[in-house]
């Protein structure tokens, strides 16, 4: 049984973008909430220090003072990969990190978001493969 904050069934499996990805297990309607991700709340300062110590960063700043680290989360949405042509977006809503479909997402399709500004500071190669890919995160 999925948690109540996970609105659509998803699965985690190997991704051509990066290691693992999260995939729609059922069709997702356009502009609908797919689900959320939960993790450890910490200060932005602590999050930025932690980000320098790990190659894989799973941290989202939810305000100017707070961030959430998902590295130990069991929520499947933690495996959402970046794409320069995403089919979903990440929104911060009252301190929660939520994912919404930008368009209809077919069952079996990988769910992706544009990470926007990251702690990688343009030094991580983007492997999304989308037409017009920026090449870096």
Q: What is the pTM of this model?
A: 0.88
> pLDDT tens for residues 7-28?
899 999 999 998 999 999 999 9
Pairing of strands 20-24, 10-14: antiparallel
Q: Is residue 132 part of a domain?
A: no
| CATH value at residue 19 | 2.170.270.10
- Angle at Cα 120 formed by Cα 116 and Cα 123, nearest 5°? 110
> pLDDT tens for residues 75-119?
999 999 999 999 999 999 988 999 999 999 999 999 999 987 665
pLDDT value of residue 60 = 87
Q: Is residue 5 part of a domain?
A: no
DSSP 40-53: EEEEHHHHHHHHHT
User: Domain total for the chain?
Assistant: 1
CA distance 61 to 18: 22
CA distance 18 to 80: 10
């Amino acid at each position: 049984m999925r948690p109540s904050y996970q609105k659509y069934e998803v699965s985690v499996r190997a991704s051509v973008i990066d290691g693992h990805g999260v995939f729609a297990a059922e069709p997702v309607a356009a502009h609908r909430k797919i689900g959320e991700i939960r993790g450890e709340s910490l200060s932005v300062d602590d999050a930025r220090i932690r980000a320098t110590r790990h190659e894989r960063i799973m941290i989202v700043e939810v305000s100017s003072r707070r961030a959430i680290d998902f590295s130990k989360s069991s929520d499947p949405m933690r495996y959402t990969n970046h794409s320069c042509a995403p089919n979903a977006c990440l929104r911060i809503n009252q301190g929660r990190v939520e994912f919404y479909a930008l368009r209809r997402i077919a069952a079996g399709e990988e769910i992706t978001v544009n990470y926007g500004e990251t702690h990688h500071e343009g030094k991580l190669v983007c492997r999304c493969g989308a037409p017009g890919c920026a090449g870096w995160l």
